[in-house]
Structure 1
Amino acid sequence: MHFCFLTNEYPVPGFPHGGIGSFLGVFCPSLVAAGHQVSVINGTSEDFSIIDREGVNIYYVPFSKKRGIAWIHNNHAINKQVERIHAENPIDIIEGSELSLAFLAKIPTIKYVIRLHGGHHFFAEGEQRPLNKWKAFQETRSFKKADAFIGVSDYVVKHTKKFLKISPRPVKVIMYPIALQRFKPVPFEQIVPFRIVFAGTLIEKKGIRQLVLGMEQVLEKFPESELHIYGRDWKDSSGKSYKENLLSYIPVKFKERFVFHGPVDQVDLPMIYAKAHVCAFPSHIETLGLVAPEAMAMQRAVLYTTTGPGPEVVEDGESGWLCNPRDPQDIAQKLIEIFNDSEEMKRRAINACKKVNVQFNIKNILEENLKYYRSLKSAADSN
């Protein structure tokens, strides 16, 4: 089959990228390895180019940045590129995230799939903020054009359904794969005792403020504890830095126990997780999130969230710890519990590694996706 993915996030070696980029960077080469053709249309501010990376043909299409009219130019460019690719080698499946299909001209022989990574309606609800009318319009229009859906968690499907019509069209929950060849179990001896690692954008919804607030209680009990924070700073519309706000919550006497590293490349994360006594990701809202299962794959203790898809990833008491992400005291108590019992920490970390090697294994997930794609293609061929 020939797959075409629409994105602006296909990973470039040496540059940080988000969850969608991480997913595509693992999934697309796996499709190629399984004998399929993969094209990626990726917006760029540079000149047009075509790059073959691990057998994936990436078409970098120049995007405009002119306010008010950029969307017209950009969608026209995407449509033209789809037409050219399809003329050379017919496309079977076009896939994108929630907004991708809004202004795409449909070709009758192609099946159009939206993968629910977490769209505008989803995060507006989760962050308790009003909808942006333009984004909401695009998302609604995009959903009307989809032939089928894939949700990266049961949670994202259920909550998206509250705002956007999915049924009676097919939808299936298939989690992200993780790069298990990169995130491999490492000996517990590599742990730096009492080191807590957080990886993610410095923004309220990631729970980093509550983690910072909880650290005071942890440091009173374990003064040698350190919180290592990896991720880019977030600035609001007025240019105000979230990191600067975060620093105001750190008691002066504990200032040296907080280490801000800034953004890191995906390839550096295994070395970072290897040294962690515990990886803490108390997110308020996620569609799935890759950081928790990646750390679990490395046989490290993970503190994740009771909200959203947290329980779909971590079985509390067996493969990790779940916390109330809005409660600094609960976060602190769970971290203290982990530090207090090294044998229990190891037991759950070993269980976590076993769990994700099945649940997030690319071989299993690739076959699930292909089975679903084939069912869509069969339905199209029989009509």
Structure 2
Amino acid sequence: MHICFITHEYPKKNFPHGGIGTFIQTIGKAYVAKGCKVSVVGINVYTKVYEEEDDHGVHIYRLKPRKIKGLTWFLNYKHINQQLLKLHVESPIDVIETPELGLVFLKKIKPIKYIIRLHGGHHFFAEAEERDIDRWKGFQEKRSFKKADAFVAVSNYVKTHTSKYLSYNNKKISVIKSPIDLDVFKPIPEIKVSDDTILFAGTICEKKGIKQLILAMKTVNASYPNLKLDIYGRDWFFKDGTSYVEYLKEKIIPELKEFSKNIIFKGPVPYIELATKYAAARICVFPSLMETQGLVAPEAMAMKKVVVFSNLGPGPETIEHKKTGLLCNPYDVNNIAENILWALENPKKCLEIEGQANEFVYQAFNTGSIVNKNIDFYKSIL
């Protein structure tokens, strides 16, 4: 079986990337191990030139961007279509998979089947970010959905929530979680835990709840003045180009007054290195306002960490409160602080939670079973 992903985000060494890129890298290598041929096609957002790369059998084609004002989107999609046709002639593609918007300008090639994996599209996140639907992006997403032959949702929540805005057009849809690389995210007993460290990881933006977490630290630090919040992740920028990190530093962190020094921005790190940061943290906190699934929570859980996650969206699918982790109201600063303080004050109960969290993730997010479910789904539509 030849599976081809369309994405610009496939990880490149020494460059930051998003969760979709990590997902494709993890599952792509696993497909190769199962005997599948895996290709990845996208525009090169890293070095702006044409590049080919082989990553443990996953062949990546990063296409040189074509930029003409007003026509950039058309030219880049044309470039992608040409590359797909070339690949298909050389080695027939069975399945092409994209996120929500990915099929809008792709020319369908028979008999390839086209799948959209719901990672969270424009309609899905518009509500969470309290913004209007952009007419152009909304049109593209609807058109993309009409062209799909089937859908995969990474959580029950993203499946049901997306259906409020977009139709699956009576096409087949299955809920299959994204896998966790359990060879990377596993307990590392040789790394000493810092009792004074809380960890946050993810893109530093409004929807990840980082602002509320920082404000919650004021209450936490009142009882634990030496406790630090280490923040790992890439910056996000407003439409005017303003840095969200700078906004937090200038407008939010000063509210902590004497505890401002306890908020530390560490920047993005490779996910293999991130595992060592999880290992060294006492508690991991991810109070997202909206997620489709959220991989950072189960990654940390796999490493036997107490995780405070959002009680919204897919949170309850990932964590059973005070059994495999803690769930907070991400809009309630006091509730975030209460959950962190509970974890700090109940170390024996937290040991039980850590073990149960590890067991849950190994059952629900292991790559082997998830890969088999995906391959069986692909076969069912071919």
Coarse TM-score class (shorter-chain normalised)? over 0.9
Asked if 1 retains the 8 angstrom alpha-carbon contact of 2:49 and 2:65, the reply is: no
State the one-letter code of the partner of 2:61: Y
Matched with 1:349 is 354
Asked if 1 retains the 8 angstrom alpha-carbon contact of 2:39 and 2:59, the reply is: yes
Matched with 2:363 is 358
1:102 aligns with 2:107: no
Asked if 1 retains the 8 angstrom alpha-carbon contact of 2:123 and 2:162, the reply is: yes
Distance in 1 separating the partners of 2:322 and 2:183:
27
Deviation at 1:108, TM superposition (A): 2.2
Matched with 1:221 is 223
Distance in 2 separating the partners of 1:22 and 1:57:
15
Matched with 2:40 is 40
SS at match of 1:249: helix
State the one-letter code of the partner of 1:202: I
Distance in 2 separating the partners of 1:52 and 1:249:
43
Asked if 2 retains the 8 angstrom alpha-carbon contact of 1:17 and 1:266, the reply is: no
Asked if 2 retains the 8 angstrom alpha-carbon contact of 1:98 and 1:143, the reply is: yes
Matched with 2:57 is 55
Distance in 2 separating the partners of 1:351 and 1:203:
30
Matched with 1:184 is 186
1:368 aligns with 2:373: yes
State the one-letter code of the partner of 1:249: I
Asked if 1 retains the 8 angstrom alpha-carbon contact of 2:52 and 2:59, the reply is: yes
Question: In the superposition, relative to structure 1, how do residues 50 and 260 fare at CA in structure 2: closer, same or farther (>3 Å)?
Answer: closer
Deviation at 1:202, TM superposition (A): 1.8
Distance in 2 separating the partners of 1:242 and 1:89:
44
44-53 or 25-34: bigger deviation: 44-53
**Residues 124-203 of structure 1 mapped to structure 2, 5 A cutoff:** 124-187=126-189, 190-203=192-205
Distance in 1 separating the partners of 2:99 and 2:156:
16
**Aligned pair partner of 1:292 in 288, 297, 301:** 297
1:80 aligns with 2:82: yes
In percent, how many aligned pairs have the same letter? Answer: 46
Distance in 2 separating the partners of 1:130 and 1:70:
24
Deviation at 1:149, TM superposition (A): 0.1
Question: In the superposition, relative to structure 1, how do residues 142 and 189 fare at CA in structure 2: closer, same or farther (>3 Å)?
Answer: closer
SS at match of 2:252: coil
Q: Deviations over 1:202-228 (max 9, x none)?
A: 211111111111111111111221111
361-370 or 231-240: bigger deviation: 231-240
1:314 aligns with 2:319: yes
Moved over 6 A (4+): none
**Aligned pair partner of 2:267 in 254, 259, 262:** 262
Distance in 2 separating the partners of 1:176 and 1:194:
31
Deviation at 1:188, TM superposition (A): 9.2
For structure 2, list consecutive stretches of 5 or more residues without a partner in the other structure: none
- Structural RMSD (CA): 1.4
Distance in 2 separating the partners of 1:212 and 1:21:
27
99-108 or 303-312: bigger deviation: 99-108
Matched with 1:249 is 252
Distance in 1 separating the partners of 2:99 and 2:60:
17
Matched with 2:114 is 112
Asked if 2 retains the 8 angstrom alpha-carbon contact of 1:185 and 1:298, the reply is: yes
The TM-score, its normalising length taken from structure 2, stands at 0.96
State the one-letter code of the partner of 1:277: R
Distance in 1 separating the partners of 2:149 and 2:126:
25
Question: Alignment length, in residue pairs?
Answer: 377
Q: Deviations over 1:94-138 (max 9, x none)?
A: 111111110111122111100001000101122110111111111
State the one-letter code of the partner of 1:348: I
Matched with 2:14 is 14
Asked if 1 retains the 8 angstrom alpha-carbon contact of 2:8 and 2:62, the reply is: no
Asked if 2 retains the 8 angstrom alpha-carbon contact of 1:16 and 1:266, the reply is: no
217-226 or 280-289: bigger deviation: 217-226
Distance in 1 separating the partners of 2:297 and 2:367:
16
Deviation at 1:318, TM superposition (A): 0.7
Distance in 2 separating the partners of 1:136 and 1:201:
24
6-15 or 30-39: bigger deviation: 6-15
Asked if 1 retains the 8 angstrom alpha-carbon contact of 2:285 and 2:307, the reply is: yes
Distance in 2 separating the partners of 1:223 and 1:194:
9
SS at match of 2:372: helix
State the one-letter code of the partner of 1:281: F
Distance in 1 separating the partners of 2:190 and 2:164:
43
Asked if 1 retains the 8 angstrom alpha-carbon contact of 2:67 and 2:75, the reply is: no
